[in-house]
Structure 1
Amino acid sequence: MSFVKSVDASDMIKIADTLFKLFSEVIEWVGSSNIVHVVTDNAANYVSAGKLIHEKKRSNWKEIVRLGVTRFATVFITLKSIYDRKEDLQTLMVDKYFTSHELSKSVNGKMISSIILDSKFWEDCLTTVMIVGPLIKLLRLVDADEKPSLGYVYEGMQRAKIAIKTIFRNRKTAYTPYTSILKMQWDKHLKRDLHAAAYFLNPGFFYSEGFVEKANILRSLLDLFDIETLYDDSVAAMQEIQLYRDRKESFGRESALKAIKRLEPGR
């Protein structure tokens, strides 16, 4: 590891083009053929600069390390990219270019070679990628800045659990080790009345065939609103909830029904 240079960017407007020029100077100095990975901040301007770098790469390059779509999932996105390059990597390990290189005779080289040529590694890799796929979709939603995500978290977690069960063909003994970890983290960090209430109050989900009717969902809504403290308005509040639940009066209007899937729950 060696230090190349530092730049005082305190007075610089950090837009994608400016950052791209800074990165390009270093890449040109090091040599594009020697670049393995460029690590940057995950802010939008840095991601855009990274995309510019990728657009100007050599035509025969194949990506393995991928730009992180969400800051929490980069390692799994990279793992998926590695799996997609399985045949190329295995071919490299038996190619004369590698086997005659001093790296193939080093401890690390032998270890990497044994991993890439191990069928069990690729089986585990595929399993991991398939399991994490639904979770990455949920993380992209939660980590996005385009729109409020509160109304989608509960449904997203339900969908992730169903997807994982489907991967293992609903064999309980096969999917339980993974869904139990998911449930433990959900219960510990994310399971809140607010998420269940937002799920209930999102008409796009509530009026769909896939809505999961559970007693704890309505209970979470009532606990969150604390109906008992509304005193004189408690009856009116319960009536409004009932009207919404049964899709009556204004909730049953044709205009309201048409807007169900287009209207964001935060609006």
Structure 2
Amino acid sequence: MVATIGQYGPHLPIPSYHDIRVPLLKKEVEYTENLMKGHGEQWSVDGSDFVKTAEKFFELLDVIVEEVGEENVVQVVTDNGSNYVLADIGKLPLIRKTIRRAINLVGFIYAHSSTLSLLRNCTNKRELVRRAITRFATSYLTLERLHKEKANIRKMFISNEWILNKLSKEPTGKEATKVELMSSFWNSVVYTLKVMAPLVKVLRLVDGERKPAMGYIYEAMDKAKETIIKSFNNNENKYKDVFAIIDKRWNCQLHRPLHAAAHFLNPEFFYDNTDLEFDFEVTNGLFDCIKKLVPQFDVQQKILTELHLYKIGPKHFGSYFAMAQRKTHSPNDDALNWATVYWRV
């Protein structure tokens, strides 16, 4: 826009407030609608009249798959898979209660100028609320801040300023004080953070744009579960309900053949785990992808031959250049496209 204005010169007539709000806006809307017409007729679906349920999404996607041809579809990719894990875990009674109490406590503080000012004095102006890409990630970050500022928040609620504040005598103020001084609440905060922290890391990986997540999500989820197990000293009763949710979402939504194949073909993990080629869940996913992507039997055999070379790591795979970058570059980076080129050749 700025370049176009510059090309026009200093005498560009400025549109009026009315022109921008009415005729020019209508013109742009019409132009945009015309651009979308062709796409809308082929693919777009207006989903505003129905609830976004899994069954409805399946019906919509099934129509497209039938049109394209099932044999031509490698994988259906949707977002929010990792978000659903957090959402489901957030429904567990203890975690739901903890998040609700935390939100009410923070909401009360931020709803009144006097309490917010008192908080900022006690925390040296550090805030409790941090926005994230999802509601559940925001809840986690808020719990994290609460836990970090626990001593300062307690200082606030036992201070003379709070005791003399008329809000401390009101029901909402009494409830906030009660929750803040409740040891069981803070124990629940710690429990929730132990569960959610490793999973939020997976969420950040999936939703981040710094590097493609396909070759890393398999390993990331395994590491997340290992971290949760260690944080509870292998006490299965502490995390069995959480793992049931993770496994359910993993099996139906997050773990697909492409994830397994990408994990197997990621040099960062493959060459550090000598048993990976014997992990049938991973290798079955890899072979499913090969069969789907390359139906020609003779080409499949060539790929299997090249796969053997990848396993033993000779030539380019075992070169100093390649080995040095296994843990510093994503397999999708241009610097490591040698692997893809090698396969294609």
TM-score range (shorter-chain normalised) is 0.7 to 0.9
Q: Which has the higher contact order (CA 8 A, sep 6+)?
A: 2
Which structure would you say has the larger Rg? 2
Q: State the match for 1:206 in structure 2.
A: 270
Residue 153 of structure 2, aligned match among 72, 89, 103: 89
8 Å CA contact 2:291–2:300 kept in 1: the answer is no
Q: Measure, in 1, the Cα distance between the counterparts of 2:168 and 2:201.
A: 38
Q: CA deviation at 1:147?
A: 2.2
TM-superposed deviation, 1:209:
4.2
Counterpart of 2:126 in structure 1 is: 62
Structure 2 counterpart SS, 1:64: coil
Question: What is the alpha-carbon distance in structure 1 between the residues aligned to residue 318 and residue 189 of structure 2?
Answer: 48
Question: Matched residue of 1:122: which SS?
Answer: helix
TM-score normalised by the chain length of structure 1: 0.73
Query: What is the distance in 1 between the residues matched to 2:318 and 2:274?
Result: 19
Structure-2 separation of matches of 1:76 and 1:210: 36
Partners of 2:158 and 2:291 in 1: CA distance: 67
Matches within 5 A, 1:117-128: 117-128=181-192
Q: CA deviation at 1:110?
A: 1.5
Cα RMSD, aligned residues only: 2.9
CA distance in 1, matches of 2:152, 2:263: 44
Equivalent position of 1:106 in the other structure: 170
Counterpart Cα distance in 2 of 1:235 and 1:209: 25
Specify the alignment match of 1:189 in structure 2.
Answer: 253
Give the 5 Å matches for 1:210-225.
Answer: 214-225=279-290
Check 1:210–1:174 CA distance in 2 against 1; reply closer, same or farther (3 A cut). farther
The TM-score with structure 2 as length reference comes to 0.57
Which residue matches 1:136?
Answer: 200
Deviations 1:85-111 (A, max 9, x none): 111222222222222222112221121
How has the CA–CA distance of structure 1 residues 34 and 95 changed in structure 2, closer, same or farther, with 3 Å as cutoff?
A: closer
Following superposition, the deviation at residue 159 of structure 1 comes to: 0.7
Unaligned stretches of 5+ residues in structure 2: 1-19, 25-112, 117-122, 334-345
How big is the shift at 1:251?
Answer: 2.0
Distance (whole Å) between structure 2 residues aligned to residue 87 and residue 60 of structure 1: 12
1:184: Cα distance to partner?
1.7
The whole-number CA distance in structure 2 between the counterparts of 1:234 and 1:144 is 33
Q: Deviations over 1:145-201 (max 9, x none)?
A: 222121111111111011001101122233222222221222232111111111111
- Per the alignment, residue 261 of structure 1 pairs with 327
Indicate which of 200, 203, 209 corresponds to 1:145: 209
Aligned to 1:26: none
Gaps of 5+ in 1: 1-8, 12-32, 37-58
Cα distance change, pair 211–151 in 1 and its aligned pair in 2 (3 A): farther
More helix by share: 2
Contact 1:164 1:179 in 2 (8 A): no
Q: Tell me, in whole angstroms, the C-alpha distance in 2 between the residues paired with 1:210 and 1:60.
A: 51
Whether 2:302 is the aligned partner of 1:236: answer: yes
**Superposition deviation, residue 261 in structure 1:** 1.9
State the secondary structure of the residue aligned to 1:150.
coil
Q: Is the 8 A contact 1:205 1:211 kept in 2?
A: no
The whole-number CA distance in structure 1 between the counterparts of 2:238 and 2:213 is 31
What displacement does 1:237 show?
1.1
The amino acid that maps onto 1:225 is: I
Provide the C-alpha distance between the structure 2 equivalents of 1:149 and 1:119, rounded to a whole number of angstroms.
39
Tell me which amino acid in the other structure corresponds to 2:330. Answer: E
Residue identity in the other structure for 1:219? N
CA distance in 2 between counterparts of 1:251 and 1:188 reads: 34
Contact conserved, 2:157 with 2:177, CA < 8 A, in 1? yes
- For 2:185 and 2:282, how far apart are their aligned partners in 1? 41
Q: Which of 222, 230, 247 in structure 2 is aligned with 1:158?
A: 222
